Structure 1
Amino acid sequence: MSRVAKRAAAGPSHLARVLENLNAAPKLTLSNLKSLKLSLAFQNDHFGARHFVKEQLPRIQYANPNLNIQVEKVRKTANEAWRPEIELEFVNGKQTTLDLHEKWSSTILKELMELAGGEPWAKWKAQAAASGLPVVPGEENEHRVVNRPTRTPLPSLKVFRASAPPPEGVNPDNSIPPDSPPKTGVAAALP
């Protein structure tokens, strides 16, 4: 069997699978949104936010090529307590922050689309409800979330950094990688 025949028998190419994911319904078009800035832990915490970055952010960037997306992944130790969040800036200057603490990626996506999805998102929700399908794949498992009680609301990363200055000799930004600017555009969605 030739190499071409073996490759054809193997199924769709990696590129075909990536494009299928990027074009999956619903199309994540965000109307009147100028920028999106996400801050989350690099590892060991903020699982819903990290899954959102991996699963949904590439689709958002693909559907909104002019949207300024910044992702700030920060090393977080076990004794640090701050929440992940998305800061949204709309074209009209309005700014909104979404708290992502203890939320599934599907919940985060629905909240974002409710704020900036516009008419296409409303049509998709109505169509999904009429057909009995979930609005976002994976939302059927959201009820399994176990909310851990916290004594006080967690601060954002900015507030945490301002209230707890880093020890001497430690990079105050603590971002990954330490000497580069935040990722923007398509690079923000990549690991």
Structure 2
Amino acid sequence: MPFMKGVSPLRRTLKYLEAGRLYLKDQIKIMTINYNVSGDHHSGAREFVFWYVPQIQYKNPDVQISLLKNMTPTPFIRCFYDTGDHMLIDIDSKMKDEIYQHLVNVVGKSKEVLESERIAKEKKDNPANFGYGCEKHCMCEFPIQVSCPAVCPLPKHWRGKYKYKKVED
């Protein structure tokens, strides 16, 4: 399996990518991470990029993530909003877990928002759902289904009391 070769093949597994818990807010369109490849106070930023950026990219496919290396004396993260504003987050001398937890608290969606999005997605995902609170009220509203007996009576040979009990008109 060629995808399991190289440095830390664990990062290439689907289970690892789905384990991320940082869902960026919908207003964030671009996220840049500025750090150097050498230096002690950049080590947390390097580890954050190595371990957590693939998860963030997987969970937020609509957000552009840019890594800017060796362009700054201190590491920082800049998030650009769709309104044109931006937010600077200082990550100087912080460890990778501290950076990740700070991003979850500051630019991540809250648990309530994630739960409401999950419920909304669950209801609308399956077109086979019908009944109260769904798009279709009755199964007869789907194409290629038998029309509703409340609207158009079924033929007598399809009904059990005529077929099995031999009830005559």
TM-score range, shorter chain: 0.5 to 0.7
Q: Which residue in the other structure is 2:23 paired with? A: 29
The code of the aligned residue for 1:35 comes to: I
Distance 1:121 1:36 in 2: 23
Q: Which residue in the other structure is 1:54 paired with? A: 50
Report the secondary structure of 2:79's partner residue: strand
Range with greater deviation from structure 2 (57-66 or 14-23): 14-23
Distance 1:75 1:64 in 2: 25
Distance 1:112 1:122, change over 3 A: farther
Q: What is the identity percentage for the equivalent residue pairs of Structure 1 and Structure 2?
A: 30
The code of the aligned residue for 1:91 comes to: D
The code of the aligned residue for 1:27 comes to: R
Contact 1:84 1:100 in 2 (8 A): yes
Contact 1:42 1:75 in 2 (8 A): no
The code of the aligned residue for 1:94 comes to: D
1:16-53, Cα deviation, whole Å (9 max, x unpaired): 962111011x5321012111111111124300000100
**How do 1:101-116 residues align onto structure 2 when only pairs under 5 Å count?**
101-116=92-107
Contact 2:10 2:16 in 1 (8 A): no
Distance 1:66 1:98 in 2: 21
Distance 1:53 1:16, change over 3 A: closer
Report the secondary structure of 1:118's partner residue: coil
Contact 2:16 2:55 in 1 (8 A): yes
Distance 2:90 2:10 in 1: 34
Flag the structure with more relative contact order, 1 or 2, with Cα contacts below 8 A and sequence separation at least 6. 1
TM-score, reference length from structure 1:
0.49
- 1:65 lines up with 2:61 in the alignment: yes
TM-score, reference length from structure 2:
0.54
Contact 1:33 1:88 in 2 (8 A): yes
Distance 1:107 1:123, change over 3 A: farther
Distance 1:68 1:121, change over 3 A: farther
Report the secondary structure of 1:108's partner residue: helix
5+ residue gaps in structure 2?
1-8, 116-169
CA RMSD of aligned residues (A): 2.7
Please state how far the C-alpha of 1:122 moved relative to its aligned partner. Answer: 7.9
Contact 2:11 2:17 in 1 (8 A): no
Larger radius of gyration: 2
